[in-house]
Structure 1
């Protein structure tokens, strides 16, 4: 059974470094209290679902997903309300947007960022988010793939040292096959939860016109490396194409700020779907549609 995890780590640090006027502290304290209330409500409801023995695993997953969607909606609405009242507040706005932007679709985020003052947009956090959003637009559905190259570890020599092999996305994408590319990391529980679903899609459709490529990114962010990627892939029965040792460049080029993140490419390398449109059962449906089946 898959248990959906709502990420809220950033919410616990919104007050960090806030030493200015009391009104800013109060605004942020109220915002954080609201986040904690939403999360407590989510956890309590999720625990009840988890303990309900009358529900099947599939029914529990559906309820977890609905609870998560509701909680995220409340978090985003709370943040948008604060931002609407503080579009020029360089102490408040960046901290609030940092806590909600990853839960928003690109068009919604665009609308939230537009009214912010130039001073707020120039802050480190917001300028990063703006840049990331532009990157997503450049790699949105309908755009051609952006290439990258990684030093993939193909094996080890007699001394146990890694044997590197340069591999590019263009070695696989735009070569006449529909390609599902999964950006993941061995430390990421939701990534590992998605692997059985990807495996089922690969086993059903792979062949002359379809394949899957997993690209490991951000391994080093949790003190892991290519060894962990190889070991984890083996445990989960990953037998499709893989690139390890990706570091951050592949994710940066596609504006990916959270994993797992999948992108479905057409035979010519055009992006067909990406992100939330490729999770759970939606992945298989998207692949079947791309293949005309």
Structure 2
């Protein structure tokens, strides 16, 4: 999720509304640095499958797109043929403009859409935090000591929390904006159930009725607001053969609930470490239950990943992506993520991996 739930999935919900109108939209583009004849694509990225809406050839640094929307606002993307240059944006019934330089589509200036104006306003508020996060990420990837890495990780969390707090302020100030309900859907689990409930209650009725608003309501319905020190929340889901598996099946053991997906690179990279931990401690009372965030269309990939990565522990999924009820219960907003539960059923750690996980298992089981 980290991160398809924060990037692709964040644009993966169609903003719905009552009724359908003849919502014509035009986009007049002005770009520099491209040869005449270069093809650009306009895409609908609101559903599980990306759909090409229109294509256009650049002539004299200009191009145009048009479409008839079936909903007031659509999550869209303009990209080059090879996908190296792209920009996500909100498209709605309006005469819009798109101005950018080659290689700088993500900094494109887009006008004509009130929703996009709201998004631009939020981006201006959060961009300083994004710059800080980028700087810290670069420091983290350098060869640093364990102590320095821990310090940087703490700073990263602080910056992220500051950005989320500013986003929450924006949502409260713009309760009737699609941008608000979109960001609440993305960041709700990071904000916590109490804060998310407050922001959801503040949304306009129209926003609550959108697909994203319903997604937030679903999170509020299932989320258990779990923290370290709490008793785990039980759930039952089918494994790849259709057999129902419950966490309570393994009561009395040390359990790692591991959230992952076949398409998640960092998850797959971590799997060999999980296998090593499982092989060392399974016979001593350690169990892993994998929870996949894959979709129904990805079932074959999920099963293949289990086999290829040699995951011999139980793996379950509802095959409904980030709407997985276990993910909602545990407040998962990015993968890989995991919860470690002791023999008494108490959550004692989150996101332990590799040697850090084995050190904890040694403490509990050796």
How does the TM-score come out when normalised to structure 1? 0.68
Tell me which protein shows more helix as a share of its residues: 1
Q: 1:102 to 1:190 in 2, by over 3 A?
A: farther
For 1:217 and 1:24, the matched residues in 2 are separated by: 30
Q: How does 1:32-181 map to 2 (within 5 A)?
A: 32-51=123-142, 53=143, 55-56=144-145, 58-59=146-147, 61-87=149-175, 89-137=176-224, 141-142=230-231, 144-150=233-239, 152=240, 165-170=241-246, 173-174=249-250, 176-181=252-257
Shift in Å at residue 79 of structure 1? 1.0
Tell me which protein shows more strand as a share of its residues: 2
Shift in Å at residue 117 of structure 1? 3.4
Shift in Å at residue 252 of structure 1? 1.7
Shift in Å at residue 180 of structure 1? 1.9
**Within the alignment, does 1:241 sit opposite 2:318 as a pair?**
no
Structure with bigger RCO (C-alpha 8 Å, 6+ apart): 1
The aligned counterpart of 1:228 is: 305
For 1:249 and 1:24, the matched residues in 2 are separated by: 26
For 1:287 and 1:110, the matched residues in 2 are separated by: 36
Q: How does 1:196-275 map to 2 (within 5 A)?
A: 198-199=274-275, 201-203=277-279, 205-207=281-283, 209-218=285-294, 220-221=297-298, 224-231=301-308, 233-234=309-310, 238=311, 240-243=312-315, 247-248=319-320, 252-254=324-326, 255=328, 256-264=332-340, 272-273=346-347
Shift in Å at residue 251 of structure 1? 6.2
Q: 1:18 to 1:63 in 2, by over 3 A?
A: farther
For 2:299 and 2:128, the matched residues in 1 are separated by: 29
Contact 2:293 2:319 in 1 (8 A): yes
Q: Deviations over 1:261-290 (max 9, x none)?
A: 33445668x5x339x83434875687678x
- Uncovered stretches (5+) of structure 1, i.e. residues with no partner: 153-164
For 1:18 and 1:37, the matched residues in 2 are separated by: 28
Q: Deviations over 1:26-78 (max 9, x none)?
A: 33211123444432332233224434x4x23x356425523431332232122
Q: What is the number of residues matched between the two proteins?
A: 264
Q: 1:285 to 1:208 in 2, by over 3 A?
A: closer
Contact 1:180 1:265 in 2 (8 A): yes
Contact 1:148 1:249 in 2 (8 A): no
**Within the alignment, does 1:16 sit opposite 2:90 as a pair?**
yes
Contact 2:193 2:225 in 1 (8 A): no
Q: 1:194 to 1:34 in 2, by over 3 A?
A: farther
Residue aligned with 2:235, SS: coil
Shift in Å at residue 138 of structure 1? 8.9
CA RMSD of aligned residues (A): 4.1
Q: 1:197 to 1:292 in 2, by over 3 A?
A: same
Residue aligned with 1:98, SS: helix
Which protein has the larger Cα radius of gyration, Structure 1 or Structure 2? 2
For 1:105 and 1:138, the matched residues in 2 are separated by: 7
